[in-house]
Homo-oligomer: A and B are copies of this chain.
Amino acid sequence: MTSFPTVRSAEALEQGNTLAPRFDANGLIAAVATHAETGEVLMLAWMNAEALARTIETGEAHYFSRSRGELWHKGATSGQIQKVVEARIDCDQDAVWLQVLPQGDGGACHTGARSCFYRIVARDGRLVLDR
């Protein structure tokens, strides 16, 4: 069972050098992946402790699939492995930012799009396709 320490003070949480992620009630933390070269946001997914630990250890993005209820080594079947160039955690340690280089066909989305965020929300609330 992978585990991370818990820190008690806001000072340690926000300014310390101990990774002490604050998983939610479901044991998950949000993770955003951006393309390390273009800065494009590719996807937003979730990690449990094991996914975060494996991501750090292997340098390849691992998530937790909420739909399948299991560890998800991104690209293991699709080839869209995400090589992690840099991982960061936010102030209150409840979100992770990965800068990645997508392998395979360079995509990240199950729809075939390069990024999951292929639709713009217009000012009238309609969605505009941009892929």
Chain A positions within 8 Å of B, measured between CB atoms, are 14-19, 30, 32, 34, 38-41, 43-44, 56, 59, 86-92, 95-97, 109-111, 113, 116-121, 123, 125-129
Contacts and interface: CB of A to CB of B under 8 A. Distances in A.
A89 B123 contact: no
12 contacts: A15-B111, A16-B127, A17-B119, A17-B126, A19-B127, A32-B41, A43-B90, A88-B117, A90-B116, A91-B110, A91-B111, A91-B116
Contacts of A125: 19, 56
A44 B111 contact: no
A91 B115 CA distance: 9
Copies in the complex: 2
Given A17-B127, A111-B91, A56 B121 contact: yes
A17 B128 contact: yes
Given A18-B127, A56-B123, A127-B18, A89 B111 contact: no
A30 B34 CA distance: 15
Contact of A91 (B90, B109, B120): B109
